[in-house]
Structure 1
Amino acid sequence: MTAETAPTPESEHSASDLVSQAAAQVSTLVRDELELAKLELAEKGKRAGLGGGLFSGAAVLALYGLGLLLALAVVLLALVWPLWLALLVVMIVVFATAGTVALLGRKEWKQATPPVPDDAVAGVQADVATVKTAARQGRHE
């Protein structure tokens, strides 16, 4: 009597088949995740653009409001001083404020240094050290 070999079920695959399937699935998963990330970024970009536009509109309106406030100051001062003197005083106050803010900004600008991502640098240094250690151990084996 000859021994009959049972046919291998289709669910059993060779290791190379399983590796290629896993690689294909990982590739598909990565592509899908990248597509999802692109869609999310596009949506966030639209919202950021809209928010930036609205914020810019608010800034323009605030500048007009500041102009009206300065005009009110001139009108109020013109009730007790001549108009030219009221305008001169308001103009000097505005320029003095602008100069002070500019000097403060310049001071802060000079003190600023480019940020260094400490965590990222430390992580890269640790990775390099690990690779060097593994390379040394590989030469000694």
Structure 2
Amino acid sequence: MAAPSNDERSLFTLVGELPDRVSDLIRAEIDQIKAEISYKIKHFGIGSGLFAGAAVVGVFLLFTLIVAAIFALALVMPGWAAALTVSGILVVIIAILVWIAMINFRRGSEPLESIESLRKDLDMVKGTGEYDRD
């Protein structure tokens, strides 16, 4: 029996390296999934904290509106106007916090790209997937 040619050796070498390459690919995909999930959890946490901050400021808004109503009913000098001004500022603060929170929730709710990529890779290894030429 003749010794394998250089072409056959490189094919044997490639086939021998295949399990290691697939293993490395799967590890890299799993690491990427972990990073994406960590990123999403971070943004959900930030969004939740900002919603909680908006709720606290909303409680202060309620108190100042009550004070404004009392001042308006009592018709005591322009004290009620000052309370309404403070309430307006609090409304602006709440709106800004809610807007930032919504941005963070949208970032956190985007679909994971790595899971779909891992599925395609596994389908290709099984021979059931199509090669994507993008």
Larger Rg: 1
- Same-fold status (TM-score > 0.5): no
The one of the two structures with greater contact order (alpha-carbon pairs below 8 A, sep at least 6) is 2
**TM-score, normalised with respect to structure 1:** 0.42
